[in-house]
Structure 1
Amino acid sequence: MKPVRPPYAARRTATLVGLLAGFAVVLIRLLNLQVLQAAELTQRADRQHWKSVSLEGPRGTIYDRNGKVLAINVEVPSAFGVPAALEDLRGAARRLAPVLNVRQTELERKLRQDRSFVWLARKLDPEQGRRLKALSLEGIGVVMEGRRFYPKGPLLSHVLGFAGMDGEGLEGIERRYDRYLHGDKQVMMLERDALGRTVFPRGLREQGPDGGRHVVLTIDEVVQYIAEKELEEAVTSTRAKGGMAIVMDPHTGAVLGMAVNPRFDPNIVKSLTPDRWRNRAIADVFEPGSTMKMFIAAAALEEQLITPTTMLYGENGHMTVANTVIHDHEKMGWMSFSEVIQKSSNIGAAKVAMRLGERRTYDYLRRFGFGERTDVDLPGEVAGLLKSPREWGRRTLASMAMGQEIGVTGLQMASAVSAIANGGVLMKPYVVAEVRDAKGRVLAEMGPQQRRQVVSQETARTLSEMLEKVVSSGTGTKAALSGIRVAGKTGTAQKIDPRTGAYSSTLVVGSFVGYLPADDPKIVIAVMVDEPQVDAWGGAVAAPAFRRIAEQVLPYLGVTPNSAVNLAMAVG
């Protein structure tokens, strides 16, 4: 029996239904691909056809208090290679080596890598970029990147610090404020062919990011220049190992200048060791010597244990304490407490400290900020050394009175003296005034912060009168300025000889710390000279530098002898 075939009309209908079903499947598939999965597939295609290379975004600019640029980004060329596009790898490496200052073997190693993109040398000099482009090598390209540039060179280098190759702050302000200064990542895109190889040079594009925020310092470029210049003169003339100089506003804690010697150029740090760029003003501890007598005096005056006219016997220059002898630089008999400070008598200061006792001496030194960080907004600060009384030896109290067995930083000393200058208030020092966005809007503002009242205004005023006599007729006469009242204190501290473990007779730190005008202080200046080989006394090596800094900074700030006299008459 023959099979029965469906009629023609039925076959046609079935065919039509099948075609329609097929079209429906295709339409549904197209809808799914082009609408529902469009975003995902586009991203997948981009990953297959584009390679992204991450670059750091432009860092924010650092300004001084008057808007002068101290650190800025500049666009410089970086060289990269696309190994798949190279026809003559060895020849390209040979021609590139003298331009990039990279060994040919190193370039060949990089270009032989099984990668679609390799960095050859980053952040080159502009002249290198021009020579590189002139070579016009297939498979070798140039892209512009931001490199940190410090237009003032070594000026303020220890405060500014520097940024690394990848735009990350590594030292100083660059490190402490990196979260503000660091710009958003920048992405460079390279197009790939169907086999996944980078197509060169077509398809290169850059996506512009947001730049970093800008930082405005309390530092004044002019004050900084003066401090560095005069510190350099002091170090050079005395053949010293180094030194530091700090200029502060005693009423606010704002740091106007912070000089460290030897200096370094933050544009060139590859060949330097960390010891060279360490900010010694906050990271190095030294025994202060006789400058510590100011704070022993402040404590005794505050506790009303003594007055400027109280008489003390100088033991003719020799006094035995705990089976050791304390010496004065000259034989002295009876003297007033004011003369103890004026002549910097070790024996007189030790006797006052003994009246205070261990606990009160320790407490006042802590109140002045010794033995703790100032919390300045710079990285690397140390707390110094102030042992608890339970760790003291039989001579420690007397030793501390003359600045031994205690370790301080330059900034601690400047901050503590500011508390005397401003009427007894310990201020928190700071070096950044504000952070701004690209449009100049203030995002963060840092202002004066009081830490605590250390002594009364009356005590500060009485001590200030005593410190004026140090400069007018005592050990600090070389710090005196004509027509300006100056208050301050000299210090000469023996250093420990690393070979013997005992105090050295030749290795010393000479210092002078003071403020002016004494009747209404505008600035505090602290100068320390490390291991001078000539005239090692603080009054001889540091006081002249103090004077030279003050002679230039005060007029710049608008303070002249006439204005200081008028101000004193108005106050009186």
Structure 2
Amino acid sequence: MIPRTAVKRLSLVLWCALLFSAVEIGHLFRLQILKHETYLAEAERQHKQKIILPPKRGDILDCNGSPLAISAEGLNVYAIPDRIKNRKKTAALLARYLDLSENYISRRISTDRPFVMIRQKVNPLSLRELQEKNLEGIGFVPSSKRYYPRHSLAAQLIGYVGVDEVGLTGIEFSRDSELSGEPGWLVVQRDALGNPYNVLDYPLRRQTNGCHLRLTIEAEFQEIAEDALRRSVVESGAHSGCVVAVNPANGKILALANYPGVDLNTEDNFKLNDFLNLATNLPYEPGSTFKPFSGCALLASKHVTLKDTVFCENGTFTLRDRVIRDVHRYGKLSFRDVIAKSSNIGMAKLIQRSGNEELYRVLRDFGFGSYTGNAFSGEDRGVLPPPTEWSRATKTSLAIGYNLLVTPLQMAMAYAALANGGGLYEPALVEAVFDENGNMRFSFTPRMVRRVLEKGVIVKMTQAMIAVVDSGTGTA
């Protein structure tokens, strides 16, 4: 017979064993049932990695296919901090090859984040030796770096991208959605040492590379325009300038130059105003170059003919307490010669025959005070005050190119309308868009905004403008 004390001890041991088993079963239930998803996700995090596959940005080409902006291959260097065993040694090695401070890299890799980017868009040639070291927790993924083969050519027009290859100014910005493409991603397995390798049945979405843009400008013509502009600005002692060349028949921009320029490959030296497009963002009072448009208002309303004459007061005239002067002392001039010799007095006198609404409507139809279209982001529309805001002197001022603000692009498009017989076109910068496989996504079609005036009026003004260079102020 077993003693009672032994039975009690045996029962105690049994109950302790049962209690321990219950606790262990409860713990296992918590781990495998209640916390199953949590620990499964942790295991996935430790053994799988999702790598983003960045798309290649599309090229920007001139009208002949010559590259103006391309994306060259580069490498992004990243770290998986929990796989780095010797962080101090790793930071020192990375600092040597990446031109970064050791302290900066140490801070980047001393984190509990599962993935950190160390440096982007590094030249692959400079990383060959680093890659051969097979540093634990350090990986490399292909990327691209924007490069501009012609450096400063059409810089303000083309614009530039940030470190993440998102367009910040110019065409790079306005057409970013077409150029940038769509990123993909790849899930890879990591071995016990943390090295990634692909598993065929893991998810994969291939990236879609950006589209290529073929512009309307021609690189050699653009270069000629920029050189002529530079010489003109330097010789005149000016600080800046711009040139716009447009095809009057369809609105294509053939060249758009700004001075001073900026080398697009030196982003570390960019200044705030380097990318100001003077052609679209620097409104000014056009002065005498505006007279053909106010003259068109007079011809359209039949208030004058080319042969009508006006006395130009021998160079000085007072109108409503305002003194108006001509550079030369003219007597009687025909309307044709008022345009040819750019007489302020002759135009100021003749414009009094026009009604305020008549003048405003013609100037507005030529595009002044309005955006030219959607080819240029951030375009200034200038200022053309409505007749309700005019003073007694406004009409006279407008006739000789004052009391309004225009942009060089607006003037170019308005003069193009005179050259083509009266059609005001939207300016066009992009001739065609192609996807990465060469399939055309967009092809340029000219878009006429409106017909400003009947052709007969334009022909008469054209005759007067020819006289400017034959016998007038444009003969120098």
Per the shorter chain, which TM-score range? 0.7 to 0.9
Matches of 1:330 and 1:441, distance apart in 2: 60
Matches within 5 A, 1:32-71: 49-71=47-69
Matches within 5 A, 1:55-94: 55-94=53-92
Which range moved further: 54-63 or 144-153? 54-63
> Structure 1: which 5+ runs fail to align?
1-40, 479-572
User: Which residue of the other structure, out of 166, 175, 178, is the alignment partner of 1:177?
Assistant: 175
Matches within 5 A, 1:276-355: 276-355=274-353
Q: Is the 8 A contact 1:183 1:211 kept in 2?
A: yes
Matches of 2:43 and 2:456, distance apart in 1: 78
Q: Is the 8 A contact 2:56 2:209 kept in 1?
A: yes
> Structure 2: which 5+ runs fail to align?
1-38
Matches within 5 A, 1:207-222: 208-222=206-220
Matches within 5 A, 1:15-414: 49-130=47-128, 132-133=130-131, 137-187=135-185, 189=187, 191-192=189-190, 199-203=193-197, 208-414=206-412
Alpha-carbon RMSD across the aligned residues, in angstroms, is: 2.4
Q: Deviations over 1:353-388 (max 9, x none)?
A: 221132111111100000000014121112111111
Tell me what 2:415 maps to.
417
Task: Give 1:323's aligned amino acid.
Answer: D
Matches of 1:247 and 1:417, distance apart in 2: 11
TM-score by length of structure 2 reads 0.85
Q: Is the 8 A contact 1:189 1:203 kept in 2?
A: no
Matches of 1:389 and 1:449, distance apart in 2: 29
Deviation at 1:53, TM superposition (A): 3.5
CA 407–215 in structure 1, closer or farther in 2 if over 3 Å, else same: same
CA 264–55 in structure 1, closer or farther in 2 if over 3 Å, else same: farther
CA 458–437 in structure 1, closer or farther in 2 if over 3 Å, else same: same
User: Which residue of the other structure, out of 455, 462, 466, is the alignment partner of 1:468?
Assistant: 466
Matches of 1:322 and 1:107, distance apart in 2: 74
Q: Deviations over 1:164-198 (max 9, x none)?
A: 2222222221222222212221325454468xxxx
Q: Is the 8 A contact 1:296 1:352 kept in 2?
A: no
Matches of 2:205 and 2:129, distance apart in 1: 26
Deviation at 1:204, TM superposition (A): 6.6
- SS of residue paired to 1:122: strand
Task: Give 2:195's aligned amino acid.
Answer: P
Matches within 5 A, 1:474-513: 474-478=472-476
TM-score by length of structure 1 reads 0.71
Q: Is the 8 A contact 2:73 2:123 kept in 1?
A: no
Matches of 2:437 and 2:302, distance apart in 1: 55
Q: Deviations over 1:275-317 (max 9, x none)?
A: 2112221122111111110101111112221122211111222
Matches of 2:377 and 2:106, distance apart in 1: 41
Q: Is the 8 A contact 2:213 2:432 kept in 1?
A: yes
CA 301–95 in structure 1, closer or farther in 2 if over 3 Å, else same: same
Deviation at 1:58, TM superposition (A): 0.8
Q: Is the 8 A contact 2:95 2:102 kept in 1?
A: yes
